[in-house]
Structure formats: structure tokens, C-alpha cells
Amino acid sequence: MAIYINRDLCSGCGLCVEICPFNGVKLDEEDIAILLDACNECGACIDECPVEAISIELIKEGVIDISKYSGIWTFAEQRDGKLTRVAKQLVGKARQLADILGVRVESVLLGHNIAELAQELIQCGADNVYLIDHPMLENYQTDLYTKAIYDLTMEKKPEIFIFGATHMGRDLAPRLAQRIQTGLTADCTELTVDETERHLLQTRPAFGGNIMATITCKNHRPQMATVRPGVFREPEKDLSREGNVINIKPDISKSYILSRLVKFLKLEKKIVKLEEAEVIVSGGRGLKGPENFPLIQELADLLGGEVGASRAAVDAGWISKDHQVGQTGKTVSPKLYIACGISGAIQHRAGMQASETIVAINKDPDAPIFKIADFGIVGDLFKVIPELISVLKAKKEKEMVV
């Protein structure tokens, strides 16, 4: 629940300030009513306001006027001044949905000295970019990002708002959805819209990917969802595409910060960047033990790729969790995914079925992985992989000579 003041309607009469029993509202320097932390959400000001500028967003059917919400928003996550791949993937998806609904795609970009990223979002398909540039937003901080985006959301009222299901997105989106008091669906693998009802149909795996569920958020706006990186394709950039960059001055200050960033720490070990990899070679239960992962590594190295693993291999302790592909691991969509000794439980498939080309090597001809493989080799991986390695090595040498 939240009291909301529409700045466009407020006449600055000050009746709300007089009636408020908690000193929870005042007139700002432009003579427009703003809420203070002392607001108790009692609602006394709502009846008092002669111009109906004050409303309360109740979670009750029909109270929120859904028709006032329009447009599809994406959260444009940037790290160290670069857009994440998922930020671009979201714009591509939002463009498709917006064209069906006949609305605008708008991206929300927060940070400091990141104005040039706005053009990249426009080239990916955004019509407008809300640029919130502020020194305090340089690094992600839950409370400031939530405050800045909450204020903008309540003012502009988008009907759909999507986020990448990255660590940042999954820290921010729930906090924001709770403040807005709207629904949020996690880790969607497909988003479509119902044209007549304008509902966002949010499909996601449940029970470890064993079933799929389509979720809707009928009476609350915006309809919020997070989407795993790699689920949607990155759109082709149109360098001639034009759009508007709208600068937003956030109402943030130190007083809003609850958790304070102390410092960034260096990592000792190499980060496994499965989500970014073009080639992934994964091993599963069929590898029989940790001593056989170097075979997978050798093949991955030859192909310039990363090593992935099934949950079974990770749970058995053969390889660390950061290699895990699947519903409870990472969702990947490389150009080439080679599954070695992985039966292909749905929980694994949920994390890799968007790969462009899938190769499966497995002894069991009935293994479910073959159902989604473009190329399947039925055979002993301990014989097939060494052969594959020697073919690759031989061709490589030959090409070097030529």
C-alpha cells in the first residue's frame, strides 16, 4: 500500500498539509505536495484533496485503474559502464511485445557517466531511454536504485516492466515490486501477450524444470517479470534507429541508504562465464568421476569454450557449482553446446535448450537429451571424445600448414 501524489494534478492548495495528523506531507519548493517519511498512509489527505491528486494504491481488485498504465519498460543493467547482454536481449523481446500491443518500448538506465549506453538501447529497439545519471548511482545499491526506479514507475505508469534475472535484477526487482505492491514472476523463459486482455503471459519452469507454468498478473500494474540471461536472442542493432533520451533527476540522498557498500573484493579463482560463452562442453554422470573432467576441459579448450556440468556431476562433488547448467544452475545459449554423458533431465534441458546447436554424446540411445539434440552420437564418450579431439587437432594442424 502506498499513498501517491500526482504532481500534474496537484494545485498546491496545501489542504493535505493541514489535515495530515502525522506531519507526513509538505509543499516542496515548487508548491507541490510531497510525502515525508512520517506519512502513516492513513489516507486522510485523499478525501481532503479538492483536485483528486492523491490516491492510494490498494491491493484490491479494480482499485488500480489498469487503463492508465501503458508501455513496456526494460531495466537496462550496466556493469562497469557496459550494458549486459541480457539488457539488450530484454529490449529485443520488449520490441516484439510492444509491436503487438501498439505501445512504446522504454528502457530505464541508471549509473554515472553512462549516457552513451542510451544510444545502444535505442539501436536495439528502445523508443525512449530514461537516463538517471547520478554519482550516487555509479555502483548498484539496492535502496537508491529501488527509490529512483519506484518514483519513476509511479509517475510514468508502465504496464509491463521486465528485468534480467541476474543477481542485481533478483536483488532489485522483488524489493521494487513489494514497494509498488504488484506481482513479480521470476526467471521467465517465455513472454507473450494476450492482445485483447493486454495480459503478459509469463511462462517459467517450476519443480526443477519438470513442469512449465504460465503466470498472469491480472489486476496489478506494472506486470513485472525477471528473465534469465540467454533465454532471448540479442537483437541486431540498427545503427540508424532514432529515439529519445529523457534525463531524469532522481530524488535520492544518503538518508535512503540502508546497506552500505564497503568495497569490491578481488577473486582468487577464475570466474566461469558460462552465460557469455560461445561454446560449452558439459559433463554429467556418464563421466563416472572427477578424474575425467580434464577430458571435457581438453575438448572445451580446443573449441575455445567453457566447461559446463549437470546437476548430478555437481552434487556428486566432481566439479564446482559455478559450472552447473540447468534450472538450479545457469541458463545458457551458446552457439554450440556439447552434452557428454548427460541424460538430459528436464532440469538440465531447461538451462540449455535455447543453445543454437546441441550435440549429445551418450551410451543410452533412449536418453532424453537426444530428443533436443541436433546431432547425437550414440556411443561411449570415453572413445568418442578422444576421437573428436584428434580430428579437431588434425584439422587444426592441417589448416595451419595451408
Partner 1 sequence: MKFIVCIKQVPDTTNVKIDKRTGRLIREGIPSIINPEDKNALEVALRLKEEFGGEVIVISMGPPQADEALREAIAIGADRAILLTDRAFAGADTMATAYSLGSAIKKIGKYDLVLCGRQAIDGDTAQVGPQLAEFLSIPQITYVLEVNIEDNKIIAIQELEDKRVKWEADLPALLTVTAEANKPRYPSAYGIMSAYKEKEVEIWKMKDLDVDEKRIGMDGSPTSVKRIFSPEPKGKGEIIKDEPKKAAEILFNRLRAKNIL
**Binders in 197-226 for partner 1, by CB under 8 A:** 201, 205-220
Query: Alpha-carbon distance 224 to 177, whole Å?
Result: 7
- What is the nearest approach in angstroms of partner 1 to the Cβ of residue 358? 7
Return the axis-axis angle of helices 142-156 and 167-180, rounded to nearest 10°: 50
Q: Which is nearer to partner 1, 239 or 262 (CB)?
A: 262
CA 257 to centroid of chain Cα atoms: 23
- The number of residues that bind partner 1 (CB under 8 A) is 91
Q: How many CA atoms lie within 13 A of 366 on its CB side?
A: 0
Residue 258 touches partner 1, criterion: CB under 8 A: yes
Exactly one of 263, 269, 270, 398 binds partner 1 (CB under 8 A); that residue is: 263
Question: How far is residue 187's CA from residue 114's CA, in Å, rounded to a whole number?
Answer: 27
Choice between 125 and 334, CB closer to partner 1 = 334
Identified binder of partner 1 from the candidate list 40, 178, 244, 253, rule CB under 8 A: 178
The three-state secondary structure class of 235 is: coil
- Binding part of the chain for partner 1, among 9-17, 242-250, 285-293, 363-371 by CB under 8 A, reads 363-371
Query: Binding partner 1 by CB under 8 A: which of 357, 364, 393, 397?
Result: 357
What residue has cell string 573484493? Answer: 265
Between residue 104 and residue 143, which ones bind partner 1 under the rule CB under 8 A? 142-143
Q: What are phi and psi of 189, to 5 degrees?
A: -110, -10
* 30 three-state secondary structure: coil
Q: Which is closer to partner 1, CB of 97 or CB of 115?
A: 97
Torsion angle in degrees (nearest 10) through CA of 30, 33, 35, 36: 60
Torsion sign (Cα): 104, 108, 174, 205: positive
Q: Which of 187, 232, 243, 313 binds partner 1 (CB under 8 A)?
A: 187
328 binds partner 1 (CB under 8 A): yes
Distance CA 208, CA 127 (A): 37
Among 3, 45, 94, 177, binds partner 1 (CB under 8 A): 177
CA distances from 362 to 298, 365, 383, 385 (A): 18, 7, 11, 11
Q: Which is nearer to partner 1, 240 or 259 (CB)?
A: 259
Q: What are phi and psi of 64, to 5 degrees?
A: -80, 130
Question: Using CB under 8 A, which of 16, 103, 186, 319 touches partner 1?
Answer: 186
* Selected binder of partner 1 within 13, 17, 97, 372 (CB under 8 A): 372
Q: Which of 68, 249, 254, 260 binds partner 1 (CB under 8 A)?
A: 260
Counting contacts by CB under 8 A, is residue 346 touching partner 1? Answer: yes
| Residue 347 is a binding residue for partner 1 (CB under 8 A) | yes
What is the four-CA torsion angle of 223, 196, 64, 219, rounded to 10 degrees? -60
In the complex with partner 1, which residue's Cβ is closer, 155 or 278? Answer: 278
Of residues 147-176, those binding partner 1 (CB under 8 A)? 166-168, 170-171, 173-175
Q: Which one of residues 7, 241, 383, 393 is an interface residue with partner 1 (CB under 8 A)?
A: 383
Q: Is residue 280 involved in binding partner 1 (CB under 8 A)?
A: no
* Shortest reach from residue 386's CB to partner 1, in Å: 8
Grid cell 526494460 is found at 74
Q: Which of 265, 400, 401, 402 binds partner 1 (CB under 8 A)?
A: 265
Distances 122 to 103, 185, 227, 275, 399 between C-alpha atoms, Å: 15, 26, 20, 24, 41
